[in-house]
Amino acid sequence: MIGEGPEGTFVLTSEPQRLAGLREWLREELTRHKVEQQEQFGLQVAVGEICSNSIKHAYNWLGGKPIHVSVRGTDDRLIIEVRDFGKKFDPQSYQPPDLEAVPEGGIGLHLVRQFVDELSFDVTEEQGTRWTLVKYRPGRTPGARPA
């Protein structure tokens, strides 16, 4: 299953082959929000990594489970949310990669942080994790006033 939910939301299921449809939808959404092509690439990588982690860790490779991706923009930022309904993210179990060695894992979240300005997660819902990725518009930073 794959398709659009409410405006600005895409719903895919937890099979890796569904990520291609997500990338296409995300490219269209980012273009609609006037995100530069170079920034689009990084955001597509970041969202893909979060969704891949949901497939692998939240759903333990079990297919047919929902992942919701939404995009909204304001004058100063773009906000992307990825929501799964599987096993909650446990920050205590996350091991950052050792970049001095060949990392065995943990590189996904490290990559995500390279492409976004803010990354947070919420595990307060009954099920799953809601990831929030924030990318500031060019020339905008937290608390900055437009020139």
Cα 127 to Cα 121: distance, rounded to the nearest angstrom: 13
Q: What six digits make up the tokens of 61?
A: 């490779």
- The CATH class of the 2-136 domain is alpha beta
pLDDT at residue 92 in the model: 87
pLDDT greater than 60 at residue 79: yes
Q: What six digits make up the tokens of 67?
A: 């992942």
pLDDT-derived band at 98, boundaries 50, 70, 90: confident
Q: Where are the domains of the chain?
A: 2-136
Cα 138 to Cα 73: distance, rounded to the nearest angstrom: 13
- In three-state secondary structure terms, 87 is coil
Overall average pLDDT of the 114-136 stretch: 97
Cα 58 to Cα 31: distance, rounded to the nearest angstrom: 29
Contacts of 64 (CB under 8 A, 6+ apart): 1, 13, 14, 15
pLDDT greater than 60 at residue 114: yes
Which residue, 31, 61, 60, is CA-closest to 44?
31
Of 19-23, 96-100, 101-105, 116-120, where does mean pLDDT reach its minimum? 101-105
> What would the 3-class secondary structure string for 106-142 be?
CHHHHHHHHHCCEEEEECCCCCCCEEEEEEECCCCCC
Q: What six digits make up the tokens of 136?
A: 């500031």
pLDDT (tens digit, 9 = 90+) per residue, 25-35? 999 999 999 99
